[in-house]
Chain A
């Protein structure tokens, strides 16, 4: 049977190698030994041990050199140094260079067993983390492909034919039939939009936004957002009042995605407002930041829901009737704002309304009206 763990001991003193083997080797543990640094490195590369014990003071290649080589070639390998001088300073030096722990000579079998167990446990956790991270990455990448092909393509084909059929049958359809066609299209549209926002959350690397940051005006961002959200608001007879406190410094950012954030907040405000209510948007500079706040006088958010608000798929418990959504809007908004180095916060009282505030840091050394940087061709 293959032993569960493989431990390598690198030490120039035979007595240490022997005693380590005696103490650690059993059915679960295979111990290999190396009498000098060069041989040790060779065995590390060949057998990829789970745990390495390494003497710091050896003739030839020193323990520190071996440690550095192991760290650069196998950054995840767990190395415990054996320090002969029993000086704390050399042990600390080794830990700084990436050793997991140190074992001062002389040591008792019990000490050796304990520290080996800890080292192996650490190795297990490291391996597990690596595997999980890889799995998550794969899931993220594949999700985009799966979703876009397996779900979006058929929905797109359906929608395309609905478009064509409504067009072809236009003269033969009754008003009621036309209405049903229109509703089918809306339902399909909603589904497609939902898939888009899922893709946003899982597959798009939001940090790429930074590569195209430009000096932008937050006042413009808000004006565009208000324009987009206006139709929803008008339908519910809700007034959007904006006030912009000049002067406003520019910020470094991506206009499109910041507009999306503010539209998101405005749409939420409309969604959770009572008809004939009003929403206030305020933009002002405060120290090194520009603040955007969106305040409504709607249903408000229960205290217990507040901490989860900006997480994926979070939705409040007290939803007004007829409100639908998947709870991704705020999570996406948070990510966009954070990529801008900013933060998003909320204050709310049930029955009184909510105020969302976005803080965005002002661009450093960006003059009041800096021109758009030249594009590299």
Chain B
């Protein structure tokens, strides 16, 4: 069996993080957590990850979006797939329920709404990892 995939989660709500992390750990992922954007970016720089789970509405305003933008500009980090977890979908006004939204901050990303059902979470994570791997294989 291959190495477990390593995920990083950046979210400032420890309780919410616990609820997500438990699901991922049970599914044999290795999960690191950063509770603020600064630590999160530090972690991304210091260690290789296979996927990032990102809350876009941390603290005052959309600090998570800043991270996503920064990633998009970084030639190495922009290849990291990102699952954006958000509570603000209703503010994006009248999106059709169930429809996938691709924020396109980085080449491989997707958006899910808080709270996330375990099955949906695992499906999205798997799909993103697979897409990123295929992209990597193609570019080689």
Contacts and interface: CB of A to CB of B under 8 A. Distances in A.
Interface of A: 144, 148-149, 152-154, 156-165, 167-168, 192, 196, 199-200, 203-205, 208-209, 254, 256-257
Contact of A257 (B13, B91, B94): B94
Nearest to B19: A160
28 contacts: A148-B87, A148-B88, A149-B57, A153-B87, A153-B114, A156-B87, A157-B13, A159-B115, A160-B19, A160-B115, A160-B116, A161-B18, A161-B22, A162-B19, A163-B117, A163-B118, A164-B18, A165-B22, A167-B26, A168-B22, A168-B26, A192-B115, A204-B90, A204-B93, A208-B93, A256-B94, A256-B96, A257-B94
Contacts of A165: 22
A158 B114 CA distance: 11
Nearest to A228: B97
B16 interface: yes
Interface in B91-133: 91, 93-96, 114-118
A341 B118 CA distance: 42
B20 A164 contact: yes
A164 B22 contact: yes
B29 to A, nearest CB: 13
B87 A152 contact: yes
A223 to B, nearest CB: 15
Nearest to A205: B93
Contacts of B115: 156-157, 159-160, 163, 192
Given A164-B18, A204-B94, A256-B94, A153 B13 contact: yes
Residue of B19, B87, B114 ringed by the most chain A CB atoms within 10 A: B19
B23 A164 contact: yes
B94 A160 contact: no
Nearest to B95: A256
Contacts of A163: 19, 23, 115-118
A153 B14 CA distance: 11
A205 B90 CA distance: 11
Nearest to A197: B90
B99 to A, nearest CB: 8
B91 A153 contact: no
B3 interface: no
B74 interface: no
A152 B116 CA distance: 13
A270 to B, nearest CB: 19
A110 B90 CA distance: 59
Contacts of A192: 115
Residue of B22, B96, B115 ringed by the most chain A CB atoms within 10 A: B115
Nearest to B97: A256
A196 B26 contact: no
A161 B19 contact: yes
Nearest to A163: B118
Given A157-B19, A161-B18, A164-B20, A203 B91 contact: yes
A153 B16 contact: yes
A49 B18 CA distance: 60
A205 B91 CA distance: 10
B10 to A, nearest CB: 15
Contacts of B57: 148-149
Contact of B91 (A158, A159, A168, A204): A204
